[in-house]
Amino acid sequence: MTLEEISRTIEAEVITGQDSLKTEVRIGCASDLMSDVLAFAKPDAILLTGLANRQVVYTADVADIHAICFIRGKRPDEETIKLAEQKGQVLMTTRLPMFVSCGRLFKNGLTGLGYLDISKRNDRG
Amino acid sequence: MTEDRSFTKIQELTYELRVRDAMVADVITVRPKQAIHDLRDMMRDKGFSGSPVVDKGKVVGLISIEDFIKCLAQGEMDVLIEQKMTRDPVTLYADEPLVHAVKKFDQYGFGRFPVIERNGRKLVGILTKGDIIKCLLKKLEVEYHEEEIHRYRASHIFEDIVADKTNLVLRYDITGKDFDRAGQAASELKKALHRLGIQPEIVRRIAIAAFEAEINIIVFTDGGQLSISVCSERITITASDSGPGIADIEQAMQPSFSTAPDWIREMGFGAGMGLCNIKNCTDEMNLVSEVGKGTTLEAVVYLNGKS
């Protein structure tokens, strides 16, 4: 799905990154726990999250994620938006809750990470 | 082996590139009601060797230099083009992958195909085998050039500079409890490693490990240092602080074990996954800590696979 299709599907307002809406995204990743995003997210995913601080932008940047959608109408502060612009990220916000946002995207063809081998992490942990 | 690889590369490109990328957009066309002798001027002025016959924007035929020569031999110069042209010629869509065009050249043995839009079937260009070869060569040249620049960046430091051992150290000072800036060092480090020409997948692993180490210093200590040492065969992350230390390292390494305060959990961290993440992203990890003195974490990623 393109970011444009995603924003339409979950009625999201684009905060920054209008120019990149044609970008194709393969995977959705929904989490409020940034460590899990760092551990499991795949590049070229869109991150859906209820957190709206600067660390979300840093986390996405480090994890090669270039699009973030805040749910339940959350909106980051101006400094966070500026940071996202610097890092070339697309930010959007939807009034829908997390479950409904994910459900709609999944129904429209966006997939998740698939089966995660969490045991591997436990073994090594 | 080189030959094999370049063959695959060209095959890959024929799937990646579209007919539109290779075709010549500026097409000379003729109308069905024109006489064959009109072609003579075109041959002289424009180096014509074949041309689509277009009526009301649609391709209705194809007339080639061979058709012209036949007419010349039989003295049929006043005959209309529509009587001598090949009707309903095989066309290509502008958005088709180039590989389809290659197959059609093989299949039909024609010298050229008119290129049309999928919607409306309007003529937009013409494609010959030569156009395909030109397009592929150009693309290969561009990619080769990009690859060269990319490699030059890395070699600039690790090959051009003559020394028995070259080691580049990037150091970031981390302020304790300054959560606002948490992630900044990892993000800057990531950019720096990209510029050095390190493979993206390795940059990602290092950046994730560095991010977690940075968060740990900020959350649990009054500050410390994150240093990343890059040499030709490996990258080493060292995170050190003079903070409270870890009493039980084995316990701290357990997934989900956490002593993080609530405020940090609300920020999306502190779920006890940090050290596991570092371990999983790197090839080697070593943690040394003494309560009351501080902690030093060292993690290594090998650049050419595990040594």
| Residue A67's CATH number | 3.40.1390.20
What residues contact A64, with CB distance under 8 A and at least 6 apart?
A41, A43, A44, B200, B204
Of A32, A39, A63, which is closest to B268 when you measure between CB atoms? A32
Residues in chain A with CB shorter than 8 Å from the CB of B269 are 33-35, 55
Does B208 contact A38 at a Cβ distance shorter than 8 Å? yes
What residues contact A60, with CB distance under 8 A and at least 6 apart?
A37, A47, A66, A67, A68, A87, A89
pLDDT of residue A116: 57
The rounded distance, in Å, linking the Cα atoms of B171 and B169 is: 6
Taking the Cβ of residue B139 and every Cβ of chain A, the question of whether any pair is shorter than 8 Å is answered with no
Q: Which domain holds residue A83?
A: 3-124
Sheet containing B284-290: order of strands = B168-175, B223-230, B234-241, B294-302, B284-290
DSSP symbol at A96? S
pLDDT of residue A4: 95
B119 pLDDT more than 60? yes
Q: Among A62, A119, A124, which would you mutate to test the B interface (most chain B Cβ atoms within 10 Å of its Cβ)?
A: A62
Does B276 contact A125 at a Cβ distance shorter than 8 Å? yes
CB contact residues (below 8 A), chain B span 197-236, against chain A:
200, 204, 207-208, 210-212
Cα B63 from chain centroid (whole Å): 41
The rounded distance, in Å, linking the Cα atoms of B275 and A40 is: 14
Residues in chain A with CB shorter than 8 Å from the CB of B200 are 64
pLDDT of residue A43: 85
Taking the Cβ of residue B179 and every Cβ of chain A, the question of whether any pair is shorter than 8 Å is answered with yes
Cα A30 from chain centroid (whole Å): 7
What residues contact B167, with CB distance under 8 A and at least 6 apart?
B229, B230, B231
pLDDT, tens digit, for every residue of B32-81? Answer: 999 988 888 777 777 667 889 999 888 999 898 888 888 889 888 889 99
B166 pLDDT more than 90? no
CA-based nearest distance B273→chain A, Å:
6
The most confident of the ranges A105-119, B6-20, B263-277 is B263-277
Closest CA to A62 of A91, A42, A38, A31: A38
The rounded distance, in Å, linking the Cα atoms of B275 and B257 is: 10
B88 pLDDT more than 50? yes
Residues in chain B with CB shorter than 8 Å from the CB of A58 are 182-184, 186-187, 211
Predicted ipTM of the assembly:
0.81
CA-based nearest distance A29→chain B, Å:
15
| Mean pLDDT within A91-107 | 96
B215 pLDDT more than 90? yes
The rounded distance, in Å, linking the Cα atoms of B114 and B59 is: 8
CA-based nearest distance B10→chain A, Å:
25
Q: Which residue of B has its CA nearest to A57?
A: B183
Collect all residues from A whose CB is shorter than 8 A from any CB in B.
Answer: 32-36, 38-39, 43, 49, 51, 53-59, 61-64, 87, 120-122, 124-125
- Are β-strands A45-49 and A67-70 bridged in parallel, bridged antiparallel, or unpaired? parallel
Closest CA to A18 of A105, A87, A69, A92: A92
The H or E element spanning position A80 is helix A78-86
What residues contact B135, with CB distance under 8 A and at least 6 apart?
B17, B21, B22, B98
The rounded distance, in Å, linking the Cα atoms of B277 and A38 is: 8
In the beta sheet, which residues pair with residue B194?
none
The rounded distance, in Å, linking the Cα atoms of B12 and A47 is: 31
Of A55, A121, A122, which is closest to B182 when you measure between CB atoms? A55
| Mean pLDDT within A45-54 | 95
pLDDT of residue A57: 96
pLDDT, tens digit, for every residue of B122-161? Answer: 899 999 989 999 999 988 888 778 767 766 665 566 666 7
Does A87 contact B187 at a Cβ distance shorter than 8 Å? yes
CA angle A29/A35/A36 to nearest 5° reads 35
Residues in chain B with CB shorter than 8 Å from the CB of A44 are none
Domain count, chain A: 1
CA angle B191/B234/B161 to nearest 5° reads 80
DSSP symbol at B182? T
Which of B198-226 are b and which e, b meaning 16 or more Cβ less than 10 Å from the residue's Cβ? Answer: beeebbbbbbbbbbbbbbbbbbbbeebbb
Q: Which residue of A has its CA nearest to B182?
A: A55
| Mean pLDDT within B211-227 | 94
B241 pLDDT more than 80? yes
B220 pLDDT more than 70? yes
Rounded to a whole number, what is the distance in angstroms from the first to the last CA of chain A?
35
State the fold for domain B168-302. Answer: Heat Shock Protein 90 (3.30.565)
The H or E element spanning position B203 is helix B200-220
Structure tokens at A43: 């590049």
Residues in chain A with CB shorter than 8 Å from the CB of B190 are 61-62
CA-based nearest distance A125→chain B, Å:
5
Domains of chain B: which residue ranges?
A: 2-135, 168-302
| Mean pLDDT within A44-58 | 94
CATH superfamily entry for domain B2-135: CBS-domain (3.10.580.10)
Residues in chain A with CB shorter than 8 Å from the CB of B279 are 124-125
Does B277 contact A53 at a Cβ distance shorter than 8 Å? no
The rounded distance, in Å, linking the Cα atoms of B188 and B210 is: 11
pLDDT of residue A117: 53
CA-based nearest distance B53→chain A, Å:
37
Closest CA to B236 of B250, B224, B226, B222: B226
Strand residues in chain A grouped as ranges (E): 13-16, 27-30, 45-49, 67-70, 90-93
pLDDT of residue B7: 52
Strand residues in chain B grouped as ranges (E): 50-55, 58-64, 86-87, 92-93, 112-116, 123-128, 168-175, 223-230, 234-241, 284-290, 294-302
Residues in chain A with CB shorter than 8 Å from the CB of B253 are 125
In the beta sheet, which residues pair with residue B93?
B116
